[in-house]
A and B are shown apart, each in its own frame.
Chain A
Amino acid sequence: MRFRAKIVDLACLNHFSRVINTIAKLAKTCTLRLTVSKLYFILSDKVANGGVSMWCELCQGNFFDEFQMEGVAVEHNEIYLELVPENLSRALKTAQSAKAVKIKLTNKHCPCLRVAVELPSLSSSSRIVTHDIPVGVIPRRLWNDFREPSVPDFDVSIYLPVLKTMKSVVERMKNLSNSIVIEANSNGEMNLKIETDLVSVTTHFKDLGNPPWTSEDGCQSSAQDRDLESMAEARIDIRKLQQLLAGQQVNPTKALCNIVSKRIVHFILLHEDVSLQYFIPALA
């Protein structure tokens, strides 16, 4: 089992750091899955995570100049590691002017991801800062826990409003209530509602647009059969939503959510080379 990768381009490094920063804001510990072509940051929906789950996928070619991976076995050419993304975020934080960043899986006293940052210095040799981030190697028998979640059979799918706006609305609502209701219909309308004993606040968004989905077998998805105006809604923990929105450092190319009434809200945020899916279950 081997892994080595190198980033030389500053823009790629910044981009990668931003992705890691976002992941770090969403999960304290998560699983990093490495394949020949992609990296995945996965949070599975255990009770410990409050039922939220996350699936973030990156194409390694868009970030790394060198990427070599040998998985646990030939027929299972992948590596699953458990790590604290905050550590990786910290290691990359002061690497913004680096000449190169190398990441390597090592096993000195315990398995670690060694991040070696080569920085320019006035002396004859570059300054090298190494960060050894402890990781846990996840054995093959547990890999099934980390399968890609399937898109749920949603009632409504709608594009999100401008994230910055949504974030500031949710942040203010967070001060008033612990839970928020997201409701939306297939007519491009979304409402964010909170209700307490003293006050109820609703923010209305319209003209958001609904993404076209075709199901695999070509028939119309059930969503299209719905009355356009009827709302699907779910009450979710407002802090989880706020965490998701606060973690976004760059505006996604596409941002949408799928609501399964009273069950779960599935957020999809797409950037050019990174896709992030985040599931927040509805509160009982």
Chain B
Amino acid sequence: LSRIGDELYLEPTERGLSLRTVNSSRSAFASFLFAPLFFQRYEAGGPPPDRELFRCKVLMKSFLGVFRSLPSLEKTVGKCLILLKPQASRLVVQLHCKYGVTKTHNLAFQECERLQAVFDTQRCASSLCAPARVLAEAVVHFPLTLAEVTLRTGPGGKIGLQNYVEDEAEPSKTMVTELWLAKDEFETVAVAPGSHITFCLKEFRGLLTFAEASNLPLTIHYDAPGRPAVFTLDDAVLEVHLVLATLSDPESSLQPPAANGVSHLPTPSEDFPDDLESYMIAMETSAYEEGSGVPPSPTFPLHTPHPAESNPEEEEEEEEEEGAVPGTPPHKKFRSLFFGSVLTPGGPSPAPTQEVLAEDSEDES
């Protein structure tokens, strides 16, 4: 999780403890859900009758600092107790070590809203499942500095991986690495023929390392370019989801957008991906219970493509009139934002730096 974001969101639920994070550009989200069975003892909420579920976020670095040296932890720590003390504003992590030593770490936390990316693996057209080792062996051929990788289907049911070369990069100067995995190296393959998806390798590698260490098969669900790709690991006591924004494609803008009755809002900022209608957030937090008349997802205004940016040959002009524009932001950047971070006006705002992918539009509401 620390490879992705700087803040660790802890959310105890009845189903278990969920640890989540999102990256600063909001193009990557990960959650690890530990079932109650994973723990020796698990109490999600406060003492009855309240049973109020409290969530918080802490600085990733602080939390990691407690568990700094894994080998020494394994040798000395007998039990670890994690306790949320809302009144004291502290997250307590207590390590009960050998020889009667107890190390108590009090971490300051911030209250936060529920961090939830909206995704639905059922709606993904393609999915692949492979042992982590196979994917790790494939990914090793790409340099560590490589930002994005493209996964595609090929002839004979093969699955290919290639480093993504930005259009601005001179093709005569960039090395292209490509490899193909045979169908039988996967546990399951259910992919749309001719499909491809481009996502960020760095966060994927992080998950892959975890998967390899835990010896779990990794499932990749993806849909059209631009829609998020979901990577999952499943185990009896652990459910892991990594959701990554993917690069949208000039060609994909030729497809009519899915009609799903989403309201179209003009966007104040230029660079928003188009196909976000489907990622409108369900109002899950109390913030929206007041029944504000705000349309479901102010966070995802539609994008009217900048004429200079979009590919003039495509039929975007006509589609614009329909109001649903599968516009093409400069596709080299991951503008594809799928995020549904439900943020209330009072909640913490993301750090929008350069290309903002998830403009939290608290201001708009």
A contacts, CB < 8 Å to B: 84, 87, 90-91, 94, 109-110, 117, 121-125, 127-134, 136
Q: Which residues of B contact A94 (CB under 8 A)?
A: 140-141
A134 interface neighbour in B137, B172, B180, B182, Cβ under 8 Å:
B172
Main secondary structure of the interface of A (DSSP, over half): mixed
Q: Which residues of B contact A125 (CB under 8 A)?
A: 182
- Is B317 an interface position by the 8 A CB rule? no
- Assembled-state Cα–Cα distance A181/B28 (Å): 53
A132 touches B185 (CB 8 A): no
Task: Select from chain B the residue with minimum beta-carbon distance to A110.
Answer: B172
- Is B173 an interface position by the 8 A CB rule? yes
Lowest 3 A-B CB distances belong to which pairs?
Answer: A129-B179, A110-B172, A123-B182
Whole-angstrom distance between the Cβ of B59 and the nearest chain A Cβ: 36
- Is B294 an interface position by the 8 A CB rule? no
B175 touches A87 (CB 8 A): yes
Whole-angstrom distance between the Cβ of B215 and the nearest chain A Cβ: 15
B184 interface neighbour in A84, A124, A128, Cβ under 8 Å:
A124
Whole-angstrom distance between the Cβ of A128 and the nearest chain B Cβ: 7
Q: A134-B172, A134-B173 are in contact. Are A90 and B143 (CB under 8 A)?
A: yes
Q: Which residues of A contact B172 (CB under 8 A)?
A: 109-110, 134, 136
Whole-angstrom distance between the Cβ of A279 and the nearest chain B Cβ: 28
B177 touches A130 (CB 8 A): yes
- Assembled-state Cα–Cα distance A121/B131 (Å): 13
- Assembled-state Cα–Cα distance A109/B154 (Å): 20
A130 touches B175 (CB 8 A): no
B184 touches A131 (CB 8 A): no
Q: Which residues of B contact A124 (CB under 8 A)?
A: 182, 184
Task: Select from chain B the residue with minimum beta-carbon distance to A124.
Answer: B184
- Is B178 an interface position by the 8 A CB rule? yes
- Is B72 an interface position by the 8 A CB rule? no
A122 touches B175 (CB 8 A): no
B178 touches A130 (CB 8 A): yes
Whole-angstrom distance between the Cβ of A87 and the nearest chain B Cβ: 5
- Assembled-state Cα–Cα distance A121/B183 (Å): 12
- Is B171 an interface position by the 8 A CB rule? yes
B contacts, CB < 8 Å to A: 134, 137-138, 140-141, 143, 171-182, 184-185
Whole-angstrom distance between the Cβ of A17 and the nearest chain B Cβ: 14
Whole-angstrom distance between the Cβ of B86 and the nearest chain A Cβ: 50
B177 touches A131 (CB 8 A): yes
Given A94-B140, A127-B181: 8 more A-B contacts, CB < 8 Å: A84-B175, A121-B137, A127-B185, A129-B141, A129-B179, A131-B175, A131-B176, A134-B172
Q: A90-B143, A94-B140, A94-B141 are in contact. Are A122 and B173 (CB under 8 A)?
A: no
Main secondary structure of the interface of B (DSSP, over half): mixed
- Assembled-state Cα–Cα distance A276/B172 (Å): 29
A91 touches B177 (CB 8 A): yes
- Assembled-state Cα–Cα distance A265/B9 (Å): 61
Task: Select from chain A the residue with minimum beta-carbon distance to B140.
Answer: A94
- Assembled-state Cα–Cα distance A128/B156 (Å): 14
23 pairs from A and B in contact (CB 8 Å cutoff): A84-B175, A87-B175, A90-B143, A94-B141, A109-B171, A110-B171, A121-B182, A123-B181, A123-B182, A123-B185, A124-B184, A127-B137, A127-B180, A127-B185, A128-B179, A129-B179, A131-B178, A132-B175, A132-B176, A132-B177, A134-B171, A134-B175, A136-B172
A128 touches B182 (CB 8 A): no
Whole-angstrom distance between the Cβ of A104 and the nearest chain B Cβ: 14
B184 touches A123 (CB 8 A): yes
Task: Select from chain A the residue with minimum beta-carbon distance to B185.
Answer: A123
Q: Which residues of A contact B176 (CB under 8 A)?
A: 131-132
Q: Which residues of A contact B140 (CB under 8 A)?
A: 94
Whole-angstrom distance between the Cβ of A65 and the nearest chain B Cβ: 22
A134 touches B181 (CB 8 A): no
Task: Select from chain B the residue with minimum beta-carbon distance to A134.
Answer: B172
Q: A125-B182, A129-B141 are in contact. Are A134 and B177 (CB under 8 A)?
A: no
- Assembled-state Cα–Cα distance A127/B138 (Å): 9
Task: Select from chain B the residue with minimum beta-carbon distance to A88.
Answer: B175
A129 interface neighbour in B134, B174, B177, Cβ under 8 Å:
B177
Q: A134-B172, A134-B174 are in contact. Are A128 and B180 (CB under 8 A)?
A: yes
Whole-angstrom distance between the Cβ of A198 and the nearest chain B Cβ: 39
Whole-angstrom distance between the Cβ of B185 and the nearest chain A Cβ: 5
- Assembled-state Cα–Cα distance A276/B25 (Å): 48
Q: Which residues of B contact A127 (CB under 8 A)?
A: 137-138, 179-182, 185
Q: Which residues of A contact B137 (CB under 8 A)?
A: 121, 127
Q: Which residues of A contact B134 (CB under 8 A)?
A: 122
Task: Select from chain B the residue with minimum beta-carbon distance to A131.
Answer: B177
Task: Select from chain A the residue with minimum beta-carbon distance to B181.
Answer: A127
Q: Which residues of A contact B175 (CB under 8 A)?
A: 84, 87, 90-91, 131-134
Task: Select from chain A the residue with minimum beta-carbon distance to B172.
Answer: A110
B140, B178, B181: most-surrounded residue (chain A CB, <10 A) = B178
Q: A109-B171, A110-B171, A134-B171 are in contact. Are A129 and B182 (CB under 8 A)?
A: no
Task: Select from chain B the residue with minimum beta-carbon distance to A109.
Answer: B171
- Assembled-state Cα–Cα distance A193/B134 (Å): 53
- Assembled-state Cα–Cα distance A116/B191 (Å): 26
Whole-angstrom distance between the Cβ of B139 and the nearest chain A Cβ: 10
Q: Which residues of B contact A87 (CB under 8 A)?
A: 175
Q: Which residues of A contact B177 (CB under 8 A)?
A: 91, 129-132
Q: Which residues of B contact A129 (CB under 8 A)?
A: 141, 177-179
Task: Select from chain A the residue with minimum beta-carbon distance to B178.
Answer: A130
Q: Which residues of B contact A121 (CB under 8 A)?
A: 137, 182, 185
Task: Select from chain B the residue with minimum beta-carbon distance to A90.
Answer: B143
